[in-house]
């Protein structure tokens, strides 16, 4: 079963409002929805914002029967070709705020159990591609040099944690993000102005997202 992780209710509602037979229960303090979209059953865990929340939600989805993880929502785009409302599929994900380089000399983002920082993701051909960086702070441009070094095209606060859990569990992971801002000094105000539009565009691509996620 497809297990979906959404950080905010408004991100979850983009899918839930297009779905049938929606049921909701609360487990370990998180809402767990079960529903059907286009004839495909799925479960969705409303994680809350941030990497810890996302990882906990991903683990919960797996214990509830998910065998594929999908993270969707909005994000900040760094690449020049991205504009508000662009829906992107991440091909790799990385955590730029994880750093053990001082003690083991590995690149920033590399976890102790791994030898390289990026998590590879399932990726199809229906969407533009990019590298996702996930950190526990809203990106306002201060980390631009590090993000450039990690080849990050888009930034959020959850996706790479979902990818990490999927890697640990040995299950496929897909991530789709709709661009709401440019992850720079204007990011917060742009996010507030553009979030609803970005979510609308994400909702318009939901059929394609499910097609990629259930191959």
What CATH code is carried by the domain that includes residue 124?
3.40.50.1580
Residue 34: inside a domain, yes or no? yes
For the chain, give the percent of residues with pLDDT over 70.
94
Answer whether residue 67 is part of any domain. yes
Least confident range of 56-60, 149-153, 174-178, 191-195: 149-153
| The pLDDT value given to residue 145 | 80
Q: Can you read off the two tokens belonging to residue 49?
A: 């914002």
Summary mean pLDDT of the chain: 91
pLDDT of res. 52: 97
Residue 58 lies in a domain: yes
Q: What is the pLDDT of residue 91?
A: 97
Contact (Cβ atoms closer than 8 angstroms) between residue 22 and residue 35 = yes
Of the two residues 111 and 174, the one the predictor is more confident about is 174
Other C-beta atoms closer than 10 Å to the C-beta of 116 total 12
- pLDDT band with cut points at 50, 70 and 90 for residue 80: confident
Structural domain total, the chain:
1
Q: For 133-140, what is the mean pLDDT? A: 78
215 occurs within a structural domain:
no
The domain of 110 spans: 2-210
Return the pLDDT at 186.
Answer: 60
CA angle 58, 211, 88 (to 5 degrees): 70
Q: Classify residue 143: in a domain, yes or no.
A: yes
Mean pLDDT on 69-85: 91
Q: Cβ(37)–Cβ(20) under 8 Å?
A: yes
Q: In this predicted structure, which of 4-13, 53-62, 113-122 has the lowest mean pLDDT?
A: 113-122
In-domain check, residue 48: yes
- Tokens 């029967």, residue? 65
| Rounded Cα distance, 115 and 134, in Å | 18
Residue 82 lies in a domain: yes
Q: Do the domain assignments include residue 130?
A: yes
- Answer yes or no: is pLDDT of 185 > 60: no
Which residues lie closer than 8 Å to 69 by C-beta, 6 or more apart?
3, 4, 5, 58, 61, 62, 162, 165, 166, 171, 172, 173, 174
* Selected residue with higher pLDDT from 152 and 7: 7
């Amino acid at each position: 079963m497809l297990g979906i992780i959404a950080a905010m209710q408004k991100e979850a509602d983009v899918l839930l409002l297009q779905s049938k037979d929606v049921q909701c229960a609360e487990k370990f303090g998180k809402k767990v929805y079960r529903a059907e979209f286009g004839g495909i059953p799925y479960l969705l865990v409303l994680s809350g914002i941030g990497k810890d929340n996302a990882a906990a939600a991903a683990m919960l989805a797996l214990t509830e029967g998910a065998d594929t993880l999908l993270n969707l929502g909005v994000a900040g785009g760094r690449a020049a070709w991205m504009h508000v409302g662009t829906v992107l599929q991440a091909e790799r994900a990385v955590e730029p705020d994880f750093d053990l380089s001082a003690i083991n000399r590995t690149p920033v983002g590399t976890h102790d159990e791994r030898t390289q920082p990026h998590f590879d993701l399932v990726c199809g051909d229906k969407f533009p591609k990019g590298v996702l960086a996930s950190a526990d702070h809203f990106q306002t441009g201060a980390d631009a040099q590090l993000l450039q070094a990690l080849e990050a095209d888009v930034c959020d606060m959850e996706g790479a944690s979902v990818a990490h859990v999927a890697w640990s569990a040995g299950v496929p992971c897909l991530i789709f993000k709709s661009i709401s801002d440019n992850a720079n000094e204007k990011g917060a105000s742009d996010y507030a102005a553009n979030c609803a539009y970005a979510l609308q565009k994400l909702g318009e691509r939901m059929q394609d997202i499910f097609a990629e996620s259930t191959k």
